[in-house]
Amino acid sequence: MSKRTIVLMPGDGIGKIVLPEAVRVLDAIGFEADYVNADIGWEFWCKEGNALPQRTLDILEQHKIALFGAITSKPKADSVKELAPALQGKGYTYYSPIVGLRQHFNLDLCIRPCKTFKGNPLNFIRRGPGSIIEEPEVDVVIFRQNTEGLYCGVEWTNPPDDVYKALNTHPKMKNFAWCPKEELGVSTRIFTKKYTTRIVRAAFEHAKKFGYKSVTLCEKPNVIRETSGMMLAIAKEVAKEYGGIALWNTNIDAQMMWLTKNPEDYGVIVAGNMFGDIVSDGFAGLVGGLGFACSANIGGDIAIFEPTHGSAPKYADYATPIINPIAMILSACMMLDHLGEVDKVTQIRNAVAKVIEEGNVRTYDMLKLKGSPDVVKQGAASTTEMTDAIIAQL
């Protein structure tokens, strides 16, 4: 059997640090692959006016599977200022390349597991009856619709006349009649029945496959009636096909309160793009933070796996890297799941769990230190040392 080819997109900042660490773990477990690097990120925006060059899309189209590090995104005005002088004033607009990848390849399923590791000092704890300290076990998988909703990119500042005229056919626009058109910003929240059904069904299929007892729809149908309302109606219909799996319905604001009261009650959660992003970060905070938060972006035939942390550029140039690589390593595990490498992924996850439980090697975040160049002198493991410990367990 020929080797697979995996596209590597380190991106920006700490993405360039953590992605090679994940590849080291894949090599150590004996995963045979050829790796090809692809250009993406802020460097290419500044010098080419395109953070997602066509050549990268072509490479992904050819090889189908990718590991992605992290991306830097800045507000519109700031991004334009950093363009190369020869590109200034030529109408270039920055658009997040990871969002661009999701939409170009229709990577509509975003899967974000948030699971407690025994012994992690960053695990959520609470005060129970009689002031006892409880550490509930969290095992939640968030299914986030990845290509629609508020992140779909259909938005305007000073909308064109035809758009403005169409908006004003809605009776609620009378509340904004006082606002000059040139001072108006509009972002749309678009849901479609096809892809809403697909994400809901994927959530129920995951619950069925792995024995979760509930699927929670986390939206806001009492206020956002058309889009959240559509998702709730679809979820109710799909739930009829999955006897024994309860459908729960929570509003995003209430869910953010409840997740710190009874996180152990939740199994699979499904949501639109924005609310899925919010609730997944919330649950990630209960299992150690973004240093442990992995994700998959899956479409019909292309899949990209990434940690959900950002590029954290202030940490990227330290002489000794201090970033926790576990989120990136767990994202590589999700890739192995996708490829059916059950034995290898089980071994890696067990090795990560063992290192965390033993507690001899901990990065600065696990020691609750402020991220600074001197944390290694304070006893924190470097990025490389954490990876070394995981490989040693393998």
Instruction: Name the average pLDDT for the chain.
Output: 96
Phi, psi of 354, rounded to the nearest 5 degrees: -65, -45
Q: Please report the pLDDT score of residue 75 as a whole number.
A: 82
For residues 276 and 253, state if they share a domain. yes
174 lies in some domain:
yes
For residue 274, give the 3-state DSSP assignment.
helix
Phi, psi of 90, rounded to the nearest 5 degrees: -110, 15
Cα→Cα distances 61→35, 38, 165, 338, Å:
15, 12, 39, 17
Q: Please report the pLDDT score of residue 73 as a whole number.
A: 85
| Residue 2 banded pLDDT, cuts 50, 70, 90 | low
| Residue 291 banded pLDDT, cuts 50, 70, 90 | very high
**Whole-model pTM?**
0.94
For residues 254 and 385, state if they share a domain. no
Cα→Cα distances 170→153, 176, 297, Å:
21, 11, 35
Per residue in 86-102, pLDDT (tens digit) is: 999 998 989 889 989 99
In eight-state DSSP terms, residue 224 is: S
Q: Which domain holds residue 160?
A: 154-187
CA distance 246 to 244: 6
Q: Are 141 and 112 in contact (CB under 8 A)?
A: yes
Q: Please report the pLDDT score of residue 3 as a whole number.
A: 83
For residues 198 and 269, state if they share a domain. yes
Q: Token pair for residue 131?
A: 């002031």
322 lies in some domain:
yes
For residues 231 and 183, state if they share a domain. no
CA distance 168 to 254: 32
Q: Which of 286, 320, 337 is the last residue of a domain?
A: 286
The CATH number of whichever domain residue 201 belongs to comes to: 3.40.718.10
For residues 194 and 265, state if they share a domain. yes
User: Over 70: is that where the pLDDT of 1 sits?
Assistant: no
Average pLDDT over residues 108-115: 98
Secondary structure of 30-99 as H, E, C letters: CCCEEEEECCCCHHHHHHHCCCCCHHHHHHHHHHCEEEEEECCCCCHHHHHHCCCHHHCCCCCCCCCHHH
For residues 136 and 274, state if they share a domain. yes
Q: Which of 242, 261, 286 is the last residue of a domain?
A: 286
User: Over 60: is that where the pLDDT of 362 sits?
Assistant: yes
Total domains in the chain come to 3
For residues 279 and 314, state if they share a domain. no
Q: Are 12 and 42 in contact (CB under 8 A)?
A: yes
Average pLDDT over residues 312-330: 95
Per residue in 191-225, pLDDT (tens digit) is: 999 999 999 999 999 999 999 999 999 999 999 99
Q: Please report the pLDDT score of residue 275 as a whole number.
A: 98
For residues 131 and 172, state if they share a domain. no
User: Over 70: is that where the pLDDT of 20 sits?
Assistant: yes
For residue 167, give the 3-state DSSP assignment.
helix
Phi, psi of 47, rounded to the nearest 5 degrees: -100, -15
CA distance 213 to 139: 12
116 lies in some domain:
no
For residues 327 and 378, state if they share a domain. yes
User: Over 90: is that where the pLDDT of 60 sits?
Assistant: yes
117 lies in some domain:
no
Q: Please report the pLDDT score of residue 95 as a whole number.
A: 87
Q: Please report the pLDDT score of residue 153 as a whole number.
A: 86
Per residue in 370-385, pLDDT (tens digit) is: 999 999 999 999 999 9
Q: Please report the pLDDT score of residue 278 as a whole number.
A: 97
114 lies in some domain:
no
